[in-house]
Structure 1
Amino acid sequence: MVMGASYGGAGAIKILASGLPNNYRLVVLERNSHANHLYVLPRYAVVAGHEDKAFVPYVGLFGSDNQPSRHVVVHGTITRLQRNSVAYMPAEYEEGNGQGEEVLDFEYAIYALGARLPAPIDLWAASSVFDEPITPGKLFNSQSVPQPFGLRQLGTKQAGIEWLKKAQRRLESVRSVLVVGGGALGIQFATDLKELYPSKSVTLLHSRERLLPRFSVRMHDEINKTMSDLGVNMLLGQRLDIRTTLPENTEYNENGERVVRTVSGRVIAADLVLLCTGQYPNTDLIGSFAPDVVDPRTGLVRVSSTLQLAVSREQGGDQMVIREGDQDLSHIFAIGDAADAFGAIKAGHTAWFQGEVAAKNILSLIKSKSSQLEKYKPGSPSIKVTLGMKRYVIENGPNEEIKVGEDGHQDLSATSVWAFWGANYDKNKGN
């Protein structure tokens, strides 16, 4: 079983679907009707006209979409995980699904459920950060009240498209935006907004003096220069007092702008505040049945170098340590944003490679329990950050090579990624 069919899950599925013996069946459990291409969501929340490209149908996940397969995608939300089974609630949008919890058994599993996303790209939130607020002095209007999608639509392509269109309308209507967090997400929102709407006031607040501190200072310098050229207000080395963003502390000024403060007491006002921080591993399901596997400091799942669950790990080492009384969970693998994968950056391409390693190791174990398993070794950190509609900067490799380009595409070439899920945009965009 593969739990989650995003980037990491897709990498595993491709290997397993083609390599499993005929007496094995692959079950993919995924809550979304379509793969959500997360990297384009901030761009499509700002720019209209490309929304459908962000949602990739699962028509070719196991190979050719024209050939029947013994493997299956089950759409639903996992509610409980046990050593050899998983309980889930079937997706409401699937015709014929019952209303009760169902259970699936597995011999091997890959946990690829990622992390809870920051609010500006969280399509599953109970309400959207882009909902129109009811501020003092604004007449009550039923259309001003947040209208979350019904359960039957949550997780569908149509709900995702409507979510993006709501974001576009809100971002177009506001006069000022405060973007909190100087990671790739915050940088993309700030630069896209300022390039598309030069007259808007866009402020980026970041708690550190450097942007993307895991990468070279040249990366920071290039981004900082582009931000300055665009006219983005930069507030570096200042941390937001998160308490001022809580509903019970909501405050507006005389212009109807939301008022927040930094921990040092600086007051910042904007029509819209985008918190591009706070991503947290989605590991509660594992923690509920095997709490010793989850690092209490980070929320990440401990894994061995072969990406199998590890109750504990030698200090500084990469091997599982199974003590008397511990559960043997070596048949379960964890990858992507949920896994403590030896310092690997949290990104789609690293999750994909981890998925491949986990899948190959499952195939090896099926052949022989004593098989030598492949070890995952993180590559050098690499990243591509867009700086407006066409400009981008890439850092790649151990030598921290920097490339700046001006030939980016407005849709971020999203359709080229469809092949990772076995789909073709021109052929499958109607699915």
Structure 2
Amino acid sequence: MSPTVVIIGGGYGGCATAKALDAVADVVLVEPKDAFFHTVGALRATVNPEFMPQVFFPYEGLLANGQVVRDRAVHVEPGVVTLASGKEMNADYLVLATGSSYPFPAKHDLDDTAAARAKYRQAHDDLATAEHVLLLGGGPVGLEFAGEIKAVWPRKKVVIVDPVADILSEYESELREEVRRQLAELGVQLVLGSPLQEDPPTAPGERGTFHVTTDSDVEITGDIWFRCFGVVPNTAFLAGALADARWEDGRVAVTDTLQVKGQSSVFCLGDSTDVAEQKRASAAIRHSEVVAANIKALITGEGELTTYQPGPPAILLPLGPNAGASQMPGQGVLGAEVTARYKGADMMTERFREMLFGTGTA
């Protein structure tokens, strides 16, 4: 009998871990969605409906031996997973890979692909008829969304508001300068260092003209707005000893082997960990490599456990298909041409499709 590995969450890290362990364990991947959602391409899909089919990958083909169970974990303790359906599963090894939630359209919270696609199509239609767009949040999501909007509708007025004094403060000044330069060329207005006195009266993504003012008395008119900040780890289902490892903000305390603190057979990866690094798909993939290697070592009893070391700050920031800038380890700051080649053209759809659902590797 092979040991049972239950992986909760079918995002980047969960899928990569499941695929890596498929040949050595009885793998069960628990995921409520009916298809993998390639969040890297979410903003492109928002402005370009023709791109939308490329960001939904059916789970068929992910595992040759294991199974994908379409359900939601509602109560998880070491060794035991209870699902929303009432089913209870025992696990020799448990991997928490539920990631995080984030305001639409960078992510969505719908389990049905058809409903999700309809929501994105509606967002596109509402954006298409808006003349003035307000984005709250000048982090990578807000900046990328502004670039995507301008690439499709160059005449739209796009304003980004953020209370921080500058964009991308964790990165090199050369990157910040290049991004600001390209945004200025696109006609994106940055209003930094002062928050809004109050949110617009309309809901995020809802069409309707409004007028708002920042604390520094900058007046802004908009027809639609989106919230581009607010990561929330999806860990409310943790119970018992696992709840003890959960920080107040939802992050899970892990060791350098990515085992949940106090646990030897429970691992956590991706956005829900308390690892001090940018929460990116690439980080979740690197986490999965460590988790899979360590579970294999525990199953076979051979070798030492692998430790995870966060890498230096890095970012690939497209501002539409042909614009953007990046900061990569060992390469420094890269401009629009290289950024488009790495990410901008297809938002890495084929790379991740092949990595997770094909036969190749990244």
In structure 2, the residue matched to 1:345 is 278
The number of residue pairs the alignment matches comes to: 349
C-alpha displacement at 1:305, in angstroms?
0.6
Q: Give the 5 Å matches for 1:199-218.
A: 199-218=155-174
Q: Give the 5 Å matches for 1:175-194.
A: 175-194=131-150
C-alpha displacement at 1:366, in angstroms?
1.6
- From 77, 81, 85, give the equivalent of 2:80: 85
Output the CA distance in 1 between the equivalents of 2:242 and 2:320. Answer: 44
Q: Given residue 230 of structure 1, which amino acid in structure 2 is its aligned partner?
A: L
SS of alignment partner, residue 402 of structure 1: strand
- From 199, 204, 210, give the equivalent of 1:258: 210
In structure 1, the residue matched to 2:222 is 270
Q: Given residue 282 of structure 2, which amino acid in structure 1 is its aligned partner?
A: H
Deviations 1:159-217 (A, max 9, x none): 22222211111110111110111111111111121232122111011222221111111
Structure of greater Rg: 1
In structure 1, the residue matched to 2:46 is 45
Q: Given residue 388 of structure 1, which amino acid in structure 2 is its aligned partner?
A: G
Q: Given residue 70 of structure 2, which amino acid in structure 1 is its aligned partner?
A: H
- In structure 1, stretches of 5+ residues that fail to align are 64-68, 90-99, 125-153, 311-327, 425-431
2:67 is the alignment partner of 1:72: yes
C-alpha displacement at 1:392, in angstroms?
2.4
In structure 2, the residue matched to 1:330 is 264
SS of alignment partner, residue 258 of structure 2: coil
Q: Which moved more, 1:192-201 or 1:40-49?
A: 192-201
In structure 2, the residue matched to 1:106 is 91
In structure 2, the residue matched to 1:300 is 251
- From 283, 301, 319, give the equivalent of 1:387: 319
In structure 2, the residue matched to 1:319 is none
Output the CA distance in 2 between the equivalents of 1:416 and 1:360. Answer: 22
Output the CA distance in 2 between the equivalents of 1:415 and 1:269. Answer: 39
| Structure 1 residues 173 and 288, CA gap change in structure 2 (3 angstroms) | farther
C-alpha displacement at 1:244, in angstroms?
2.8
SS of alignment partner, residue 49 of structure 1: helix
Output the CA distance in 1 between the equivalents of 2:356 and 2:126. Answer: 31
Output the CA distance in 1 between the equivalents of 2:264 and 2:213. Answer: 47
In structure 2, the residue matched to 1:415 is 350
| Structure 1 residues 177 and 192, CA gap change in structure 2 (3 angstroms) | same
- From 5, 14, 34, give the equivalent of 2:10: 5
C-alpha displacement at 1:119, in angstroms?
2.7
Cα-Cα RMSD: 2.4
Deviations 1:319-366 (A, max 9, x none): xxxxxxxxx52211011000012x222101111111111111111112
| Structure 1 residues 265 and 291, CA gap change in structure 2 (3 angstroms) | farther
Output the CA distance in 2 between the equivalents of 1:174 and 1:277. Answer: 21
TM-score normalised over the length of structure 2? 0.89
Q: Given residue 71 of structure 2, which amino acid in structure 1 is its aligned partner?
A: G
Q: Given residue 355 of structure 1, which amino acid in structure 2 is its aligned partner?
A: S
Is the CA contact (8 Å cut-off) linking 2:39 and 2:107 kept in structure 1? Answer: no
Output the CA distance in 1 between the equivalents of 2:129 and 2:208. Answer: 13
SS of alignment partner, residue 172 of structure 1: helix
Output the CA distance in 2 between the equivalents of 1:158 and 1:256. Answer: 26
Deviations 1:197-244 (A, max 9, x none): 122111011222221111111111111001111111110112235x53
Is the CA contact (8 Å cut-off) linking 2:76 and 2:82 kept in structure 1? Answer: yes
In structure 2, the residue matched to 1:405 is 336
- From 100, 112, 121, give the equivalent of 1:165: 121
SS of alignment partner, residue 234 of structure 1: strand
Output the CA distance in 2 between the equivalents of 1:184 and 1:40. Answer: 13
| Structure 1 residues 261 and 290, CA gap change in structure 2 (3 angstroms) | farther
Output the CA distance in 2 between the equivalents of 1:339 and 1:276. Answer: 21
Output the CA distance in 1 between the equivalents of 2:236 and 2:10. Answer: 18
| Structure 1 residues 88 and 287, CA gap change in structure 2 (3 angstroms) | closer
| Structure 1 residues 113 and 413, CA gap change in structure 2 (3 angstroms) | closer
SS of alignment partner, residue 71 of structure 2: strand
In structure 1, the residue matched to 2:304 is 372
| Structure 1 residues 113 and 31, CA gap change in structure 2 (3 angstroms) | same
